[in-house]
Structure 1
Amino acid sequence: MTTLGEVVDLLHRWYPPATADSWDAVGLVLGDPGRSVRKVHFAVDPSPEVAEEAVAAKADLLVVHHPLFLKPVTSVAATTPKGRTLQTLATGGCALLTAHTNADQALSGVSESLALALGLTDLTPIIAAPAEPRDKFVVFVPTDAAAPVRAAMAEAGAGAIGDYDHCSFSAHGVGRFRPLPGADPAIGTVGDIAVVEEDRIEVVVPRRLRSAVLVAMRNAHPYEEPAFDIVELADAGEQSTGTGRIGTVPATTLAEFAQHVAGVLPATEHGVRVGGDPQRPVSRVAVCGGAGDFLLDRLAGSDVDVYLTSDLRHHPAAEFLEKNGPALIDVAHWAAESTWLPVVRQRLADALGDTVECTVSAVRTDPWTFRV
């Protein structure tokens, strides 16, 4: 049986809530972590129609990109759309989880999914996310006690690297020490030099977990006074997460690339709006899922040929184009972010196998319904 808590932990490992913007509201909104999950449904928006679809499909968890409660509310009565959404899910036994700005920046997140859907390669963030500060713990422990010490440190969060945990390195050696009067040695005798077969264990630890890992190590270590080092690691400068993505496409023109975008993204009444010379050569492309006008100043002087995003306003777009920098492509907000749904669906399906069914919403939640 797979529990809701296990699914949430997995999604939070891929899209850590701590990386969300301070104003955002992400994480588990509704549901008991102890309940079993057999079906997970994915959508961009937590609309009443999506909630009805999820319950009709007998989903145990609805994962959405946009928060249901981004602003404080005083009631969740079914007299409002948000209240109806929550009422429908609660009555149908379907939990709700939001991954918003934490999913925007991540690997296999919204901007990366958009870039890959459009065929971009050699991806890098427009703005790289700062790497989480890390330490390297080195501890020396008798060989026959090394396994429980490694395990205790791992359970406290040490040794997690990417999609792996319990990562460590061990080297064998000989430790020497002399217990002084007042000591209570686990090995050796007061006043005599002890020679002990020991392992040197090295693990990488997020700095925020330093205290927890240190306590776990001390509790599991047989020595009264363990020998250990804590080394603060420098930023390796290889961060692959962050805001937006820049990549390359085979040489084309702006008109041809815009036509390609229209063919890849779901059709909407918004369509694909383009600012720039149709014959402009295009090979280097920047994208940002969702509303990306906050990156215009950043990209104005860059070497990209075109910037694709959503919700561009008249004056910022006009002033950007006047600087003779990249061209602009403006696509529907929902269409751009919907490219993430099949990616996260497949990622969860691969991780959980046949134990959980994963599906993507067929409800189009783009607000525009027709054009006159």
Structure 2
Amino acid sequence: MERAYPPYLAESWDAVGLICGDPAESVESVVFALDCTDAVADDAIARGADMLIVHHPLLMRGVNSVAANTPKGRIVHKLIRAGVALFAAHTNADSARPGVNDKLAELLGVTPGAPLRPIVDELDKWGFTVPAESAEAVKDAVFAAGAGTVGDYTEAGFEFAVTGQFRPGEGADPHIGSRGELERVQELRVEFVAPRRARESVRAALVKAHPYEEPALDVVETHSGTRELGEKDLGIGRVGELDQPMTLREFTERVRTTLPATTWGVRAAGDPEAMIRKVAVASGAGESFLGTVAKMDVDCFVTSDLRHHPVDEHLRAGGCAVIDTAHWASEFPWCNQAAEVVARGLEAESIPVDTHVLDIRTDPWTIHGQGDE
């Protein structure tokens, strides 16, 4: 999961990763859901799952107790007693490729192009020395932590032979050599680039995999300059072309019939007969992107959780049409994508794990009262 949805892509306020469970435990069955509710936890336990993967973190803000008599604490205790680990991939899954926004765009017939809010990550250039026999293990570790990606290429770097020297002090526990004696070792110098946001995870992976007590490494910040964003860039939201032009009325109907049905339904603002060709999407709550799409050459913005005044002001200012979906409906399709990503990744490593998407509607809305138009 962390290879597919790197934690460093998460927003600073987010709480992603393992919420409860023992990282050392084996996993043979994984289930997926958007939220971890009581019903979802009960279903995961009933199915004998070892791990429950969700999009929305159970513990994110304002939690100072997981006592069993609290709503969230009850779920945590229930999962731990049953031996079910809980893992969340939230805004890191929104920004990843493929991610939540790619799935939403593809379902609606929109080519998932550049992100609405890109993660323009400056790069660090790394270098470290390591005995040749340990080089592959350390490289594997840093690449798994997010290093070594250059455009369409992964695990990119170069290495060359060097001679290292050191004299272990009295308090040292040297992997090679003896305390107080100068040691010269034939080593490899390995260099690669990594996103600056991944610096801590790359450093931790390197230090853990390296045989030396104190690895020799250096990190140099680089500047990548400006460039045009494209379909391979990471970030929240997607902008792309609709597979065929259609009216706002027709596109709204496509959104309604394509996404999972909810009580909330789908509503649109704008001229029903306006032609839609270029679309921006932001899964989940995307009201904060109204100002962004207003400056873009798009005909329609699809998102969730829109309020009256921001939409009214957006349209008064000449902004594009907007389509408002239920939050749950715009993100639930990601569960299938995540299950496929996990299954493919583990199959490639010959690790047998069963995956299953829990078909439980965790959308909180249950009644929709609608009068005459």
TM-score bucket (shorter structure): 0.7 to 0.9
Structure showing greater radius of gyration is 1
Q: Report if aligned partners of 1:150, 1:201 keep a CA contact under 8 Å in 2.
A: no
Structure 1 72/346 Cα, relative in aligned 2: closer, same or farther at 3 Å?
Answer: same
Distance 2:210 2:19 in 1: 35
Structure 1 72/152 Cα, relative in aligned 2: closer, same or farther at 3 Å?
Answer: same
TM-score, scaled relative to structure 2:
0.79
Distance 1:137 1:168 in 2: 10
State the Cα distance separating 1:264 from its structure 2 match: 0.9
Distance 1:310 1:48 in 2: 24
Structure 1 residue aligned with 2:339: 345
Q: Report if aligned partners of 1:281, 1:305 keep a CA contact under 8 Å in 2.
A: yes
State the Cα distance separating 1:155 from its structure 2 match: 4.0
| 3-state SS in 2 of match to 1:42 | strand
State the Cα distance separating 1:73 from its structure 2 match: 2.9
Deviations, residues 59-88 of structure 1 (Å, cap 9, x unaligned): 111111112122233433343332332232
148-157 vs 261-270, greater mean Cα deviation: 148-157
Q: Give unmatched runs, 5+ long, in structure 1.
A: 1-10, 177-182, 188-195, 221-225
Structure 1 residue aligned with 2:237: 244
Distance 2:85 2:207 in 1: 36
State the Cα distance separating 1:115 from its structure 2 match: 1.1
Alignment of 1:121 onto 2:111 = yes
Q: Give unmatched runs, 5+ long, in structure 2.
A: 164-180
Q: Report if aligned partners of 2:4, 2:341 keep a CA contact under 8 Å in 1.
A: no
Structure 2 residue aligned with 1:5: none
Map of 1:1-372 to 2, 5 A cutoff?
Answer: 11-135=1-125, 137=127, 146=132, 148-149=134-135, 151-152=137-138, 154-155=140-141, 160-162=147-149, 167-169=156-158, 186=184, 202-206=191-195, 208=199, 219=212, 232-235=221-224, 237=227, 240-249=233-242, 250-353=244-347, 355-372=352-369
Q: Report if aligned partners of 2:148, 2:157 keep a CA contact under 8 Å in 1.
A: no
| 3-state SS in 2 of match to 1:86 | helix
Distance 2:184 2:306 in 1: 68
| 3-state SS in 1 of match to 2:291 | helix
Deviations, residues 276-311 of structure 1 (Å, cap 9, x unaligned): 111111110001011110111111122100000001
Q: Report if aligned partners of 2:29, 2:354 keep a CA contact under 8 Å in 1.
A: yes
| 3-state SS in 2 of match to 1:66 | coil
Distance 1:90 1:47 in 2: 15
| 3-state SS in 2 of match to 1:287 | strand
Distance 2:81 2:361 in 1: 23
| 3-state SS in 2 of match to 1:121 | coil
Distance 1:38 1:217 in 2: 30
Distance 1:36 1:76 in 2: 25
Q: Report if aligned partners of 1:159, 1:204 keep a CA contact under 8 Å in 2.
A: no
Structure 1 residue aligned with 2:176: none
| 3-state SS in 2 of match to 1:307 | strand
Structure 1 134/319 Cα, relative in aligned 2: closer, same or farther at 3 Å?
Answer: same
Structure 1 34/217 Cα, relative in aligned 2: closer, same or farther at 3 Å?
Answer: closer
Q: Report if aligned partners of 1:159, 1:165 keep a CA contact under 8 Å in 2.
A: no
Distance 1:85 1:304 in 2: 43
Residue 160 of structure 1 aligns with an amino acid whose one-letter code is A
The alignment's C-alpha RMSD in Å is 3.5
Deviations, residues 12-52 of structure 1 (Å, cap 9, x unaligned): 22222233222222221110111110111111111101101
| 3-state SS in 2 of match to 1:12 | coil
Distance 2:195 2:236 in 1: 22
| 3-state SS in 1 of match to 2:288 | helix
Q: Report if aligned partners of 1:134, 1:232 keep a CA contact under 8 Å in 2.
A: yes
| 3-state SS in 2 of match to 1:13 | coil
Residue 362 of structure 2 aligns with an amino acid whose one-letter code is T
Would you say how many aligned residue pairs link Structure 1 and Structure 2? 338
Distance 2:326 2:105 in 1: 15
TM-score, scaled relative to structure 1:
0.79
Distance 1:60 1:360 in 2: 14
Distance 2:183 2:36 in 1: 60
Distance 1:43 1:147 in 2: 43
